[in-house]
Amino acid sequence: MKNIIDFNCPKCGSENIRKFSLIYRDGLSDLAGRNFHGTSQTVNSQIASPPFSPSQFLRRCCFFIIPLLFLGHIGRSPIFLTVGIVLGVICAIACRIYASTIYRDSLQIWNNTYLCQRCDSAFILGHDAPQDDW
């Protein structure tokens, strides 16, 4: 039977391992004060963060494109409008390609990545070689 998955660290053999997604989630905490609201995150949680999502990618693109469209509209400049529209189309296509290739594969790897609590090495469950220490 080759399909049995070994839930031990491939480097030291310890059974004390934690999934990256749990480390990430457990390291987040909401902060709410009188004048602020936010999230704090432990260092381990930052390291175990999921891959950059397509929606984050698209939001960052919009950060640059929307001002161009606004300037084009206010200044009645066809150059800003054209550049903004072309960049928007390019970003949408790039986001679609990223979501269906790199992000999908990275998310699958992240979902199978564990951290050994004894020797601090990260590894992908089912792979023999541990990842680089973090």
The binder of Zn ion chosen from 48, 65, 95, 116 (CB under 5 A): 116
Query: Which residue number, 12 or 102, has a Cβ lying nearer to Zn ion?
Result: 12
User: Closest approach of Cβ 30 to Zn ion, in Å?
Assistant: 32
18 with 114: CB under 8 angstroms? yes
Q: Does 11 bind Zn ion (CB under 5 A)?
A: yes
> What residues pair up with 17 in beta bridges, in sequence order?
116
Which one, of 19, 105, 114, 109, lies nearest residue 54 by Cα? 105
127 with 9: CB under 8 angstroms? no
> What residues pair up with 113 in beta bridges, in sequence order?
124
x/- track of binding to Zn ion for residues 74-113 (CB under 5 A): ----------------------------------------
Contact positions toward Zn ion, by CB under 5 A? 9, 11-12, 14, 116, 118-119
